[in-house]
Amino acid sequence: MIKKILVILLIALVLIQFFHPKKNAGTVAANQSIAAVYSVPENVKEILAVSCNDCHSNNTLYPWYAKIQPVDWWLNNHVTEGKSELNFDVFATYSLRRQYHKMQEIIEEVRENKMPLDNYTWIHKKAVLTSAEKEALVAWAGAIRTTMQQLYPADSLARKK
């Protein structure tokens, strides 16, 4: 009985190797990215590239183990969820309110060590943010919020309570 179950599981494992989700490798319209509307200093661009963009952009650099199921489905779920929360490649298409809110979320998530996710940094050691990188991201997001406060009416940035 156990042998039959193991054989069935092995066959299932082999079969699922033929079914992979679409890779997150899209085109980036320069006029839709965050850099189209806000200054992104070089140090912040590098931080975003190393620690954020795999899940928060239209282009993920997949590790070798992404070719193995069910790992690929699990990674795809993370990327899809990450992009639905924040996608730097389409940031300019967000409403002002959402842009403003996302900058606040970046500040909070980085300060509270919630981003990047632990299960990402376990394998991607270079993605672990140093104190200086955290400060840079928080300062950058805060500066964008300040710029938005100066440029736009308050009621366009926050919901009325």
Per-residue pLDDT tens over the stretch 67-114:
888 888 888 888 899 999 999 999 999 999 999 999 999 999 999 999
Q: What DSSP assignment string belongs to 58-124? A: SB----GGGGSTTHHHHHHHHHHHHHHH--GGGGGGS-HHHHHHHHHHHHHHHHTT-SS-HHHHTT-
Q: What is the pLDDT of residue 160?
A: 65
CB 62 within 8 A of CB 20: no
Joined tokens for residue 43: 């140090």
Q: How far, in whole angstroms, is CA 41 from its chain's centroid?
A: 18
For tokens 């919020």, name the residue.
145
